[in-house]
């Protein structure tokens, strides 16, 4: 898999604070609608039912719900559904601005949070949940080479982040797990699923992390949305003003094209 260039900022920032070694970065683009290598894994998913604040079985907020170990790309809104996913935060500058844009257009998104970022900004995690968005575990140190590390390391990265996010949210658990740079392994997928977190990929990489300009980000989404419904953006890792500007254009455009906004399948 290709990896996102320049995405090791979490490792550099967090290693000093957490004693976690971050490895060089790079990025991955998911273009398939199904996981090409994961169909044969045992599920290993716990059977404890989860009930959200809204009373939805299997939703964030309770114990682990049984989910598939395969990497999700599809939308719960069907063929014309789009899943907006926001990675690497929360960030005190950019997450509120992203939340404002989503609110303006009535769009719900999935926020893939880095554990220490969530721990540092519990008010933002709670704001994400209060607005009806979903949480996703994006590990502790955003190590895009964790698929080459031991199972013990993978477990620490996933479960420590899950705990930090859950505590920051006031008890709302992540519903998904997204490996940094797409660095999934059969073990990490099974572990996440056993904790009620569906492994989450993406179909459209907006390339916003590279800051190519808002117009370029918008053009990428328009050109690649036919690849599938799950679109990757970022709300941390540097100046995300281009992301905010691009979302203001992309969200109404998608509505004009007849798309509706949903969440990744579980």
Q: Which residues are catalytic?
A: 87, 234
CA of residue 30 relative to chain centroid, distance: 13
Peptide bond into 90 cis (omega under 30): yes
Q: 172 near 129, Cβ under 8 Å?
A: yes
Nearest to residue 138, comparing CAs of 7, 253, 45, 245? Answer: 7
Kindly report the CA angle at 212 between 211 and 218, in degrees rounded to 5?
100
Backbone angles phi, psi at 19, to 5 degrees: 70, 25
Residue 160 CA, distance from chain mean position: 16
Nearest to 83 by CA among 218, 244, 266, 262: 262
Tokens 């094209």 sit at which residue?
257
First to last CA, the chain: 24
Spatial CB neighbours of 58, under 8 Å, sequence gap ≥ 6: 49, 50, 65, 66, 67, 196, 266
Report residue 36 as tokens: 């090409």
List the beta strands (DSSP E) in 40-159: 81-87, 109-113, 134-137
Contacts of 256 (CB under 8 A, 6+ apart): none
């Amino acid at each position: 898999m290709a990896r996102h260039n320049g995405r090791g900022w979490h490792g550099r920032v967090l290693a000093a604070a957490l004693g976690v070694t971050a490895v060089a970065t790079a990025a991955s683009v998911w273009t398939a609608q199904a996981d090409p290598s994961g169909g044969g894994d045992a599920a290993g998913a716990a059977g404890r039912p989860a009930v959200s604040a809204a009373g939805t079985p299997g939703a964030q907020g309770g114990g682990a719900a049984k989910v598939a170990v395969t990497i999700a790309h599809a939308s719960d809104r069907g063929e014309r559904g789009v899943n907006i996913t926001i990675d690497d935060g929360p960030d005190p500058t950019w997450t509120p601005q992203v939340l404002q844009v989503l609110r303006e257009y009535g769009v719900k998104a999935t926020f893939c949070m880095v554990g220490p970022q969530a721990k540092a900004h519990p008010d933002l995690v709670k704001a994400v949940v209060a607005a009806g968005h979903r949480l996703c575990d994006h590990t502790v140190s955003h190590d895009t080479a964790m698929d080459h590390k031991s199972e013990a390391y993978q477990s620490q990265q996933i479960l420590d982040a899950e705990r930090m996010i859950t505590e920051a949210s006031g008890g709302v658990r992540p519903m998904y797990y997204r490996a940094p740079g797409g660095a999934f392994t059969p073990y990490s997928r099974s572990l996440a699923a056993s904790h009620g977190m569906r492994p989450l990929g993406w179909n459209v990489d907006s390339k916003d992390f590279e800051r190519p300009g808002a117009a370029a980000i918008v053009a990428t989404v328009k050109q690649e949305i036919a690849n599938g419904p799950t679109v990757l953006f970022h709300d941390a890792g540097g100046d995300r003003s281009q992301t905010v500007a691009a979302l203001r254009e992309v969200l109404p455009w998608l509505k004009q094209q007849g798309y509706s906004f949903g969440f990744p399948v579980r």
